[in-house]
Structures are given as C-alpha cells and as structure tokens.
Amino acid sequence: MLITIPSILSKDDVKQVRAHLDAADWEDGSKTAGPQSAKVKHNKQLPPVSDTAQTLGQFILQKLTDDPLFLSAALPARILPPMFNKYEQAETFGAHIDNAIRVNPLTQERLRTDLSMTLFLSEPEEYDGGELVIQDHYGTHSIKLGAGDLVLYPSTSLHEVTPVTRGARISSFFWLQSMIRTDAHRTILFDLDQSIQSLSTTIGSNAVETVRLTGIYHNLIRTWAET
C-alpha cells in the first residue's frame, strides 16, 4: 500500500525546520548506504548523530505519531530516527531497494524495515527533477509532494530519486517496523479502520454495526500482530 499523508508539518513548521537545515553542515550521503546502494547514491546528508538531526528528528516524530491517518496506515511498532538529505544539481539516487535491517545509530537497536517514508521539505516549485519514483504491482508512481507532506510505502518497493536539474530538493527520510509484518494485512486493516471511522461519523460509534466491525478489527490485529 502506497499512501500520501498531507500536512504532517504545517508551513510554519517547515520554515522552522528549514532554517536549521540551511545552517547545518552536510556530508556525502553514500556514508549511510549499503554496498549496492552506495554505487547509485549521489546526494548530501545530515550526519545522523548530529544535534540538529536529533532535535529535528524528535520534532518530526512527535508530529507524525499525533497523526491518525499515519497511525492507521502504518500501525508502527518502532520507528528509526528521521534522517535528512539534500539533492542539488545533477544529484540523484538510482533504482534500489532499502536494506531489510537497519541499525538505530543512537541505540544500536536492529529494526526490520517494513515501511519507508519520505517527508518533503522543499516546495515542488523550488526545484526541477527530483521525483521519487516507486514501482509496485500496480505500476510506476512518480511522487513530488508539497513541503510538509509525507509518502509512506512498503520498503520492498524498487524506487529511485530522479536527477535534480535546478534548485535543491530537501527532505527527511526514515523507516519503521510495523506491528503487522505483511503489506496485504496492513492494507486490510487500514481499509477496515477507515470504514469504522466513517460509520462512527454516520451512524455512531455505539451502533451495533460499528461495534461489531471494531471487534473484528481488533481480533485481526490480535491474530496478525508482532510486537
């Protein structure tokens, strides 16, 4: 399931984050890539353990975990600290699949990457190129969102960032391990949860149908969850 989630950060939030990033020292992005990805990764990245990365990462995580659509879609168990990258003239990240296991640079905890996330921090008109292109069973999706918007997609997806030809594409990227391992099960639960929320609005949260579906939802989580 690929889903875009608008306004994780407000425009004022984005301005504050960008002010810190614009004053930060960036390094070669290939330092945190795997052996295969390093050959096709050409960008700049904020050092993950820097004070700026940690402070901004905690700010983003707080905003993210307050968002009901994100929680419904991801059902997160653990989230890696957000990282930050910048693509400028001719910089790109060729087609790759994210590493299955990543290590939290702050705690050394290992985490299975079920879902990948990109939070856009540049407005589309600030740069040309730089589309996030994701391939799945339904085709190829080219994604370029407004600043503050996020895309969430399975980490099993082949994806790339096309070359930037003007300006700078700045974003935050990170991964999570979901309580629900498989994308198919997460999709079923997301659709069910969205239906329950709609019914709660139209016929009430205490209606027999709403209560019954809520029970089914939680029983499915009980069946499929890994914590």
- The confidence score (pLDDT) of residue 35 equals 66
* pLDDT tens-digit readout, 162-187: 999 999 999 999 999 999 999 999 99
12 annotated among ligand-binding-site residues: no
Q: What is the average per-residue pLDDT within 90-116?
A: 95
Percent of the chain topping pLDDT 70: 96
Domains and CATH numbers, the chain: 3-178 (2.60.120.620), 183-224 (4.10.860)
Sign, CA torsion 126/43/53/144? positive
- Residue 66 annotated as part of some ligand binding site: no
42 is in an annotated binding site: no
The per-residue pLDDT for 39 is 78
Asked if residue 218 belongs to a known ligand binding site, the reply is: no
Question: pLDDT value at position 30?
Answer: 78
Q: State the pLDDT at residue 34.
A: 64
Q: Can you give the pLDDT at residue 36?
A: 65
Among residues 170, 168, 143, 152, the alpha carbon closest in space to that of 14 is found at 170
The reported pLDDT for the residue numbered 209 is 96
What pLDDT was estimated at residue 137?
A: 86
Is 199 buried (19+), middle (13-18) or exposed (0-12) by CB count in 10 A?
A: middle
